[in-house]
Amino acid sequence: MQDLIERAARDIAGSTYAIALTGAGISVESGIPPFRGKGGLWEKIDPMEFAHIDSFLRDPEKVWNVLIKEMKGVVDEAKPNDAHTGLADLERMGKLKTIITQNVDGLHQVAGNTDVIEFHGNFAWQRCMDCGGKIETSEIDLSEIPPRCACGGIYRPDCVFFGEMIPPDYMRRSQQAASLCDIMLVLGTSAVVQPAAYMPVVAKENGAKVIEINPENTPLTGRISDYIILGRGGEVMNGIIAELEKLLDA
C-alpha cells in the first residue's frame, strides 16, 4: 500500500486541479454506518420502503420513525475523522479545489473544506413540504412524529430521496468540476448509485487520473480508475498528507 500512497502523493503534487468524490465509506470511521456491505443500513431496512420519496409521501410517520430519527441520532454525534481532515489539509495546501459528496452529514464542512457540492442534499436542515420554510435538524421538536411546521406542513430532510432529481445546480457544478479536473480522488463510495457514479467516468473521459481509496474494489476498479489504494480512508489520507508534505517541502 505504501508505494501506492507515495504514487498518489506524487500525482497530487503534480496536479493543478484535483477534486474528490466521496461516499458513505469516508464517514464510517466517524461512526456513521455505510448503506451497503457488512453492517450497512440497507441490510437492515429496504431503501425502497424507507428512502423512496413515494414511501415518504405515503407514510411520513413510518419513515420518520425508522430512518430519519435514527439518522439524526447518529449524525448529531459524528465528528470528522482523519479522512475528512486529510481532504481539508489538501485544500489548505492548495491541492484540492472541490469535493462532490454523496453524504448528507456535513462533515466535510466541519473539517474545513469550503467548496463542497452536496449531491444528495444535507441532513442539517429540514424543509416544510407545504410552505418550504426551513429549520435546522438540531432544532426540530421530535415530540410529534412526523414533526410539523407552524403552518401545519410536514417537515422532510433537505436531502434527495430515491425517486427524486439531483438539484440541477449541483448536477451542473459537479459535471463541470469532473470535466475540468486533472485528478479525481474517489473515496469511500461503492460507485453503484447514479448519477454520482458517473462523475468519475466524466473525469476519465476528459483526461483526468482517477484514484480510488477504498478497502474494497468497486465497479470502477480496473476499468475507470487508474489505481485503487486498498485501505481505510483515514490511514490512507494520513499517509498521503505525510508524503505530500515531504514533496512540497523538498
Q: Is 157 in the site for ligand OAD (CB under 6 A)?
A: no
Backbone angles phi and psi of 47, in degrees to 5: -60, -30
Full DSSP string of 95-115:
---EEEE---S-HHHHHT-S-
Residue appearing with cell numbers 432529481? 165
Nearest distance from C-beta of residue 25 to ligand OAD, angstroms: 2
Q: Is 85 in the site for ligand OAD (CB under 6 A)?
A: no
Q: Of these, 13, 15, 40, 62, which contacts ligand OAD (CB under 6 A)?
A: 40
CA angle at 28 for the pair 27 and 34, rounded to the nearest 5°: 95
Nearest to 97 by CA among 83, 108, 113, 85: 113
What contacts 240, CB < 8 A, 6 or more positions away?
Answer: 5, 8, 9, 12, 86
Among the residue ranges 2-10, 86-94, 178-186, 211-219, the one whose residues contact ligand OAD (CB under 6 A): 211-219
Q: Is 121 in the site for ligand OAD (CB under 6 A)?
A: no
Report the interhelical angle of 233-249 vs 2-13 (nearest 10°): 50
Q: Of these, 4, 9, 29, 199, which contacts ligand OAD (CB under 6 A)?
A: 29
Q: Annotated catalytic, 120?
A: yes
Nearest distance from C-beta of residue 117 to ligand OAD, angstroms: 13
Q: Is 55 in the site for ligand OAD (CB under 6 A)?
A: no
Residues 180, 202: contact at Cβ < 8 Å?
no
Which CB, 204 or 232, lies closer to ligand OAD? Answer: 232
Q: Of these, 5, 189, 200, 204, which contacts ligand OAD (CB under 6 A)?
A: 189
The residues annotated with a catalytic role in the active site are 120
Give me the residues that bind ligand OAD (CB under 6 A), please: 23-26, 28-29, 34-37, 40, 47, 51, 102, 120, 160, 162, 188-190, 193, 214-216, 218, 232-233
